[in-house]
Structure 1
Amino acid sequence: MRTHRTAGAVLAAALLTGTAMAPAAFAAPPAAASAVAQAAVPFTAATAARAADGGYALSWASPAGSVTVTAVTSPDATTGTALGTAAGTGSLTVAPGTLPEAGRWYFRLVPDSGSPLVVADRSLGLESARNFRDIGGYRTTDGHWVRPGLVYRSNKLSGLTDADQQRLVSQNLTLDVDLRNAMERHDDPDRLPAGVTYQVADVVSLAHGIRFHDSALMTLAEAIAAGLFSGSSNLGQSIGYPFMVNFVGADYAFHDLVTAVTTNTSGATVFHCSAGKDRTGWGTAVLLTLLGVPRETVEADFLASNEYTGNPKAVELDWLRAAFAEVDHIYGDFDTYVREGLRLDAATVETLRARMLTA
């Protein structure tokens, strides 16, 4: 027992450094009927990507005969700059200079039958927060889409420039959820626009004690073995991801994150850690899985940190998969993790889905 407590204390101390903690990824969402019970948007694929020259490349797939594209500056806008009409499965290029500078351009895809879909480049192009990006724009397994412009993930926000802050204001950001530990928050406090509510959801907080759901020593040994077997470039991260599921303190943080996103109806939410890839990566995986986004898409979003940070080794897929495996090991499935680990009830999950998914 003494050995177990000592190991737990050492691990908790490591977690406090922020180097061995990262958010995990969840399994399929509950099978209960969604609050969004109407017909799904008739698009099976859609993307918008901004080029370095300021132009945009749009593409989509749908059973429609044709799709009309309009550029808008808000995801809720219905009128804007008409860009053209193309086939139901097609593409459109927006040449540089076609659209004036704006906080962010969204593209409203209107099929000749069925509901429209709004897409956007995920990055806001913030100079001081390269990994700041939208978690919207993904299709779910049941044919809905995660709405853009509601929830963002990011790296630390301590260096936001005045221009970056103004861009966040233009996107109606009203809530910032900080997943970092006390030392990180002290050394690099967030620099936010006036009017943005700040909330802490410390993933490695010891406020709830040094407690684990399963043997800390066993989790440590298995994580090291798995990391060595997979050829992990960072054993600390290989260890940290399963502990994001095993450490009780992390449950409270991710519970608070999901609840904050669900209840912030006054505007957009951003959540972040330091690099925006580990704790934030697991938090994103939890949210997207709750919304019904398929695992392969969740994994692709996780790996995108390598592109946004400019570091091809920023994250490794085996780290995220280790967290999912820990969910299955401790709880048997993702639904049970959500219910018993994160203590999120069905009403909260349904409210989250109703808020964030298209009809």
Structure 2
Amino acid sequence: MKSIKAIIATTALLASVSAHAQQNLGLEASPNFRELGGIETKDGKILKDHLIYRSGSFTSLPQEDKEKLAETGITTVIDFRSDYEIKREPDDIPSSLGAEWINSPIGNIDPKSMQQFMKVLTGPTFSTDQVDSLMITANKGFVDNITDFKPLFDHLLKKDEVVLFHCSAGKDRTGFASSLILHVLGADWDTIMADYLRSNEAVGKIDNSKLEMYGIPKDRAAYMMGVKAPYLEAAWDGIREKYGDVDTMLEEEIGIGEKEKKQLRKKYLSKK
């Protein structure tokens, strides 16, 4: 499974490298930063604003970004990245935010496996079908590290916390985590997928020319940076194959049963 984790981490690291100095969804240095507020559930309720945020990493934030973050009221930052990723690009969270930073890595990334995936991206036999196959396999592998997402939900359950969760690019690990949150809160599949695919708005505006330093042609980089519906579908398929359904997994592995769902919906949902 090391190589599968490395695929996710490699694409995320490269995305974060090329993301700097690009402005898209509010933060210049973290273009995939956004909140879940405003998303509608199946029963017609909406997620409250300014309570749950998702993003990519926060490396070398300009002062303007720090000021915007300080205004969010975020109390807890949950970082899904490995020690290897964090050492390369540590978060630059402003002290004025006063948030608690928590490292909650999803899996254990092996740098050697990341190098092997880089060879695929730069090699002569590269194909888009090959990338899709690798990403589908990698996302399906989330089920093998599913308990790593429990700390996120533990903090979401706390009464007064405003939570930001992120990985490197904010699209794979973060996208999957967001899909679980939205499911728990009662969003339908189309809404969940729309949030997942919204990452393409951010990565689509990234200057991929910086990835040439890694020997990755621009067209390959652009393809690799995106997310596609089959990626998330594969992650959920992996859960269904092992547990039967997502709700069984949530209760058995993450501790989110009906009682906890009601608590979360009471905290995060409001009437239109």
What TM-score, normalized to structure 2? 0.75
CA distance in 1, matches of 2:11, 2:258: 27
Matched, 1:203 2:106: yes
CA distance in 1, matches of 2:253, 2:189: 20
Residue 168 of structure 1, aligned match among 64, 69, 75: 69
Bigger Rg, structure 1 or 2? 1
Structure 1 position 234, deviation (Å): 3.4
Residue 310 of structure 1, aligned match among 197, 204, 207: 204
- Residue 318 of structure 1 aligns to a residue in which SS? helix
Matches within 5 A, 1:124-203: 125-194=26-95, 195-203=98-106
Give unpaired runs (5+ residues) of structure 2: 13-23, 110-127, 206-221
Contact 2:32 2:170 in 1 (8 A): yes
Which residue matches 2:154? 259
Contact 1:203 1:253 in 2 (8 A): yes
CA distance in 2, matches of 1:133, 1:324: 23
Q: 1:143 to 1:232 in 2, by over 3 A?
A: farther
Matches within 5 A, 1:58-77: none
Higher strand residue share = 1
- Residue 47 of structure 2 aligns to a residue in which SS? coil
Which residue matches 2:219? none
- Residue 146 of structure 2 aligns to a residue in which SS? helix
Residue 177 of structure 2, aligned match among 263, 278, 283: 283
Structure 1 position 284, deviation (Å): 0.4
CA distance in 2, matches of 1:232, 1:356: 39
Matched, 1:301 2:195: yes
Structure 1 position 12, deviation (Å): 2.7
CA distance in 2, matches of 1:132, 1:18: 19
Give unpaired runs (5+ residues) of structure 1: 1-10, 23-122, 207-229
Q: 1:16 to 1:200 in 2, by over 3 A?
A: farther
- Residue 323 of structure 1 aligns to a residue in which SS? helix
Contact 1:136 1:147 in 2 (8 A): yes
CA distance in 1, matches of 2:167, 2:3: 17
Q: 1:275 to 1:187 in 2, by over 3 A?
A: same
Structure 1 position 14, deviation (Å): 4.6
- Say how many residue pairs are matched: 222
Structure 1 position 252, deviation (Å): 2.4
Q: Tell me which stretches of 4 or more aligned residues in structure 1 moved more than 3 Å.
A: 16-22, 230-234
CA distance in 1, matches of 2:131, 2:227: 9
CA distances 1:140-164 after superposition (whole Å, capped 9, x unpaired): 1111111121111101111222211
Q: 1:205 to 1:352 in 2, by over 3 A?
A: farther
> What percentage of aligned pairs have identical amino acids?
30
Which residue matches 1:37? none
1:19 maps to amino acid: A
Contact 2:77 2:101 in 1 (8 A): yes
1:287 maps to amino acid: I
Matches within 5 A, 1:61-140: 125-140=26-41
Q: 1:13 to 1:182 in 2, by over 3 A?
A: farther
- Residue 257 of structure 1 aligns to a residue in which SS? helix
Give the aligned CA root-mean-square deviation in angstroms: 2.3
Which residue matches 2:259? 347
Residue 5 of structure 2, aligned match among 15, 23, 30: 15
- Residue 40 of structure 2 aligns to a residue in which SS? coil
Which residue matches 1:270? 164
CA distance in 2, matches of 1:299, 1:323: 12
Q: 1:275 to 1:188 in 2, by over 3 A?
A: same
- Residue 335 of structure 1 aligns to a residue in which SS? helix
Structure 1 position 244, deviation (Å): 0.2
Contact 1:18 1:180 in 2 (8 A): no
Contact 2:153 2:254 in 1 (8 A): no
CA distances 1:276-333 after superposition (whole Å, capped 9, x unpaired): 1000000000000110011001111111111112267411110101111112111111
- Residue 75 of structure 2 aligns to a residue in which SS? strand
CA distances 1:189-217 after superposition (whole Å, capped 9, x unpaired): 111121110011111149xxxxxxxxxxx
What TM-score, normalized to structure 1? 0.58
CA distances 1:215-262 after superposition (whole Å, capped 9, x unpaired): xxxxxxxxxxxxxxx9464332111111101x1xx2222111111122
